[in-house]
Structure 1
Amino acid sequence: MGMGGTILASHPQLRPFSFPKFRMKFPKIWKSPFDLERKGIEFSMVSAKAGCGTGFAYLLSGVAIDRKTEEGQVMRPYRKRSWRTWISTCLILGAVFLPYLTAPIAAQTTTGGLRGVVMDVTGAVVPGATVVAKNVATGVEHRTTATSEGIYTIPRIPPGKYDVRVEAQGFKAAEVTGVEVGVGKDTVVDFRLEPGAITEVVTVTGGGEVLLERDTAQISATIQSRKIQDLPINVAGGGLDFVVLLLPGVRTGFGNVNANGITLSVNGNRARSNNFTIDGVDNNDLSIGGPNYFVQNPDLVQEYQVITNNFSAEYGRNQGAIVNIVSKSGTNEFHGTVAWYHRDRKLWDSLTNLERRSGQKEPLPNLVNVFDYTIGGPIVKNKVFFFHAGHFIRNPQFADLRTTSLAPTPEGIQMLKSAFPNNPAVQYYADFSAFALPIGNPTIRPDVPASTITIGNLKVPVAAVRRAVPLSNRLDEFNVRGDVHPSDRDRIWGRYFIQDRPGKDFLVDVRG
């Protein structure tokens, strides 16, 4: 194959140079590039290690390829370059290709951890003890061994409840059940082993939420799925962020910001100062702020983590709150939920004062139907799991838009168009005034006095407009998640969200 190329160095002491062009015939099949040397071709490689991440970029050096002739002599088709030239070449090529070869580092965590100290009854440490944490829901086990100081650590495990068991030679086995592991923090569980046979087990029932975290200055709260499901925070698919108002320092925000139910102001910061993630993945609207994807199905959420102050180093971007939603995964048991929320405004709502004043007899139609379902379970027990959720909103309604501002009535529009046929400004005003736009069948408000405006010698009647626009508020949301645990140290998972909301006529205004 033919090879060649040119690299231009910007340094004043470096000269432009070209890789030599030559032709080489390689065997049709080899197992790896390192087989080239065994096939009669010598080569070397220059490696550049990434300064961040774990990726390595291997760059083929211009002086590295030699070809052996049949007589065993080495043919070097180009002259030797100075060491400055080759170092500059490697740096330039590394700067160009390194971003494509390094793996990105996740900024936010979606896992927790366990750690503690294994001691005997006298307080002396027990080195080499075997610690096993078993996920109660999935049956997946995570193993580790205590160090010579008796310290054990099981990092980066999915949140949930765990049964933690410790075994050491010459001691009874100890087990703590129902240990709650939350997102973004380590749960500390210390053990005191009693002398005895390893077949004997001392079991302690754990559980409960840790109210005081002694190992971090970060101020955070984790809201479990049961609270999210039981509290009336997501009425008619209104969004889940209402639950954050339960925390100290959080109040309703204001401004033109996206909201998953409500805008949030944390510790006096603007509503745009919050950082939203789903499973640790960025979920921020980059135009106006707030969440980009609205999670509305409460049965989809496993944990709702909110950090309000003293963020750890992995967080950044915003100085308000960190709102991280962790989605559910499948377990060893098949489980599912089905929910239907129904509300008809004609049956449950009374007339507002404005509606009574206008002579209206009953509320305008507003029918709300919200359907939720989830299903999850094992594909291979203790190894492969799935979870699927759906959320649907059907909300046909009428938007009752009113104003006290006056606009030319239909009669006044015809008068303007007839009196000023050659005036483009008047014609434009007549064509696009409130009563001229037919959407929502605009009518004259009888509860607001009509008037007239004088244009030249022409008196044009004007009145306040009322517009009732039919809206089809529809939303379809699907979520699919899969988790694979090939070993006690490895976990592979993926999640796919899709949300479809057409929003037809959502920008309609009383003016049209």
Structure 2
Amino acid sequence: MNRTLSLLIRTLTCGLFLLFAVMTVNAQFKAGIQGTVTDAAGGRVPGATVTLTSKETGKAQTVTASDEGFYRFSQLAPGNYSLSAEQPGFKKQVLEDVVLSGEDVQGIDLALTAGEVSETVTVTDTGAAALDTETANIKGVITAEEVRQLPQVGRNPYELARTAPGIFGDTARGGAGNSAQFIPGTEQLGGGSNSGVFQTENQTQITANGQRVSSNSYQIDGVSVNSLGLGGAAVVTPNQESVKEVSVVSSTYSAEDGRNTGAQVKVVSQNGTNEFHGSAVINYSSPKLNAFNKYFGPTTGSASTPALLTCQRGVKVFASRCPDIVNQYERKYAGSIGGPVYLPRFGEGGAAYFSGKNRLFFFFSTEALRRSNSRVDNIFIETPEFREYVQRVRPGSFAARLFATSGTVPRVIATGLPSGGPNGPNRPVNGQAGLSFDIGSINTPLGQNVDANNFDGIPDVTLASVVVPDSTRGNQYNTRIDYNHGTKDQFAISTYFTKLDNFSGSGSG
């Protein structure tokens, strides 16, 4: 009995697993083509044979029109197709260029003219439907060409969602501070990605029909990539090379979009075709190609006294402070390749390799970011005399060990900058760093205030221009495999792997 029950439980578990897998496969593609087959007078043509063929993968599907002349193809991937209809006593009708958008149901009626079966009427200039006659949704479609050519911050395709009808937004990077706080319904959390496609939670600041930003939804190949911790944010941002199409629905009346009331952003990833295709992108940015910002503004107070300063690149400037320069090194790499799968065959006889044309396809894309940035902050730092004094007087202290550790000395551009001194008691003195300040002796007993009686004459701190480094390293890899099993079944697997390492220095010490 126990063995029978165990077997039943295992069978049910496997059945549920297969059911969920089938549901996932069905969710991959939701586009479709439907319409009516008629004759020249507008009468319905029942039983007509309608064939749809993908120009990318060669997959052909055939359906028979109903008694009312109605036909439908569902669960289609976006792309270019050819559509044909034939019936005895009529000329064969062929539409060569049918463009189908992702997640879109397109209506195409086919009109047959009387004639011999061997005759064919071919229409080559069909294009995409100018008007959606099948649904009441308000949507915009962003093609792969637009994704690659239109400007986006960080090569982030989600930035283009604001170009869709019914969408309002900007390119705000942060939810609090530099935010889209003047956009209706925007919360003070999250924000757009500052790390391109590598940021984990990318909350693009867009609103659809006045809904909150947290009401937006994101899908890739029919699978939700919404963040569980931050509403309206995507945990996967696809790189440009991997995007075939982005559909943005601002007003939806479909039950399948019932989870969120905001913008429905649906991405379809690129797939391999019967021909090999690839791409490569490289972007180079260096401070050696940048110029100084000569409009660096005035200063006030005692710090406004001009002096001859040594600034970045050793440039000497007579001013109250050094001018700035964008000191950022950046390298971006991206590429893709896709096509049919060819595999070697072993054994005697037959072809030497397996050809995946019309059956098995692959696509791979990647994007990498290498960014190092250094900004200049004016802060008070320890003088060389103070570091040497601490290591000599208190050799076993934590401060002495810290000062003796390599890499702890600030990256100084200029020292001895004009200043009124740090907060608290201080006395200006001259030292190795130029104008410095004595802020009291480290030998002052605990609890005793620093005053004019316990300055030791050692330069303790100086106002300096120091370099504060930041670095970002990101990698994303996308893979997709498509397999056509006969004329009815299609399997697709797509994956994204993203890794991001950020390092940010602090100019506050």
The normalised TM-score by structure 1 is: 0.69
SS in 1 for 2:423: strand
CA contact (8 A) 1:114 1:153 kept: yes
- For residue 201 of structure 1, the aligned residue among 114, 120, 123 is 120
Q: Does 1:367 align with 2:364?
A: no
Residues 277 and 170 (structure 1), Cα distance of their counterparts in 2 relative to 1, 3 Å cut: same
CA distance in 1, matches of 2:270, 2:473: 25
Correspondence list, 1:186-225, <5 A = 186-225=105-144
CA offset digits 1:143-190 (Å, max 9, x no partner): 111001000000011110111010111100001121111111211110
For structure 1, the residue ranges without an aligned partner over 5 or more in a row are 6-42, 46-56, 61-92, 422-426
CA spacing shift, 1:166–1:367, aligned 2, 3 Å = same
2:366 to 390, 393, 405: 390
Verify: 1:456 aligned to 2:431, yes or no: no
User: Does the 8 A contact of 1:413 with 1:430 survive in 2?
Assistant: no
Give the aligned residue type for 1:453: G
Which residue of the other structure, out of 166, 185, 193, is the alignment partner of 2:104?
A: 185
The residue type paired with residue 245 of structure 2 is E
Tell me, yes or no, if structure 1 residue 257 matches structure 2 residue 190: yes
Residue 266 in 1 paired to residue 207 in 2?
A: yes
Q: Determine if the alignment matches structure 1 residue 247 to structure 2 residue 164.
A: yes
1:510 match: 507
Cα distance 1:402–1:275, how it changes in 2: closer, same or farther (>3 A)? farther
Instruction: Say how many residue pairs are matched.
Output: 412
Match of 1:500 in 2: 499
Distance 2:89 2:261 in 1: 52
CA offsets per residue over residues 276-305 of structure 1, 9 Å max, x none? Answer: 222122222323342212323x22210011
| 2:255 aligned residue | 313
Runs of 5+ unmatched residues, structure 2: 176-188, 197-202, 297-310, 312-316, 342-355, 426-447
In structure 2, do the counterparts of structure 1 residues 243 and 97 end up closer, same or farther at CA, with 3 Å as the change threshold?
closer
Q: Which residue does the alignment assign to 2:235?
A: 292
Question: Residue 148 of structure 2: SS of its match in structure 1?
Answer: helix
Change (3 A) 1:111 1:392: same
The 8 Å contact of residues 50 and 62 in structure 2, kept in 1 or not, is answered as yes
1:167 and 2:167 are equivalent in the alignment: no
Instruction: Give the whole-Å Cα distance in 1 for the aligned partners of 2:329 and 2:384.
Output: 36
Displacement of 1:341 in angstroms is: 1.6
Report the equivalent of 1:89.
none
Q: 2:218 aligns with which of 276, 290, 298?
A: 276
Does 2:310 match 1:335? no
Structure-2 change in CA distance of 1:167 and 1:153 (3 Å): same
How big is the shift at 1:367? 2.2
Return closer, same or farther for 1:102/1:381 CA change in 2, 3 Å cut-off: closer
Change (3 A) 1:213 1:394: same
- Greater mean alpha carbon deviation, residues 106-115 or residues 136-145: 106-115
Alpha-carbon offset, residue 214 of structure 1: 2.5
The CA deviation at 1:58 is: 5.4
CA offset at residue 213 of structure 1? 1.6
Q: Which moved more, 1:442-451 or 1:212-221?
A: 442-451
Amino acid at match of 2:423: T
Q: Are 1:481 and 2:480 matched, yes or no?
A: yes
Q: For residues 13-35 of structure 1, what are the alpha-carbon distances to aligned partners after superposition, in whole Å with 9 as ceiling and x for unaligned? A: xxxxxxxxxxxxxxxxxxxxxxx
Aligned pair in 2 of structure 1 residues 279, 430: CA closer, same or farther (>3 Å)?
A: farther
**AA in 1 matched with 2:168:** V
The whole-number CA distance in structure 2 between the counterparts of 1:449 and 1:430 is 28
Deviation at 1:242, TM superposition (A): 2.1
What SS does the corresponding residue of 2:145 show, helix, strand or coil?
helix
Counterpart of 1:128 in structure 2 is 47
Distance 1:447 1:145 in 2: 87
Distance 1:172 1:101 in 2: 44
Q: More relative contact order in 1 or in 2 (CA 8 Å, sep 6+)?
A: 2
Deviations 1:75-118 (A, max 9, x none): xxxxxxxxxxxxxxxxxx99x99976752645965331110000
> Pairwise CA RMSD of aligned residues?
4.0
| AA matched with 2:148 | Q
Q: How far did residue 442 of structure 1 move?
A: 6.8
Separation in 2 of the partners of 1:165 and 1:257?
Answer: 49
CA contact (8 A) 2:54 2:82 kept: yes
Which of 449-458 and 277-286 deviates more?
449-458
Write out aligned runs for 1:24-103 (5 A): 102-103=19-20
Percentage of matched positions with identical amino acids: 26
Change (3 A) 1:353 1:224: same
Instruction: Name the SS for the 1:501 alignment partner.
Output: strand
Counterpart of 1:180 in 2: which secondary structure?
strand
> In 2, Cα distance between the equivalents of 1:269 and 1:456?
58
State the AA in 2 paired with 1:369.
R
Q: Distance in 1 between matches of 2:216 and 2:386?
A: 48
Q: Quote the Cα distance in structure 2 between the aligned partners of 1:97 and 1:374.
A: 37
Distance (Å, rounded) in 1 between the aligned partners of 2:398 and 2:129: 66
Q: Distance in 2 between matches of 1:469 and 1:126?
A: 75
- The answer to whether 1:351 aligns with 2:293 is yes
What's the counterpart of residue 70 of structure 1? none
Q: Is the contact made by 2:191 and 2:205 (CA closer than 8 Å) also made in structure 1?
A: no
Give the partner amino acid of 1:511. S
* Distance across 2 between alignment mates of 1:445 and 1:329: 61
Q: 1:358 to 1:315 in 2, by over 3 A?
A: farther
Question: Which residue number corresponds to residue 117 of structure 1?
Answer: 36
CA distance, structure 1, for counterparts of residue 418 and residue 214 of structure 2: 40
Counterpart amino acid of 1:344? S
Q: Partners in 2 of 1:120 and 1:351 — Cα distance?
A: 72
Partners of 1:311 and 1:373 lie apart in 2 by 38
Q: Secondary structure at the match of 1:452?
A: coil
The answer (yes or no) to whether the contact 1:146–1:152 under 8 Å persists in 2 is yes
Shift in alpha-carbon separation, 1:299–1:408, aligned structure 2, 3 A: closer
Aligned residue type for 2:237: F
- Matched to 1:382, the amino acid is N
Task: Give the secondary-structure state (helix, strand or coil) at the position aligned to 1:314.
Answer: helix
1:326 and 1:352 map into 2 onto residues whose CA distance is: 46
The amino acid of 1:190's aligned partner reads: D
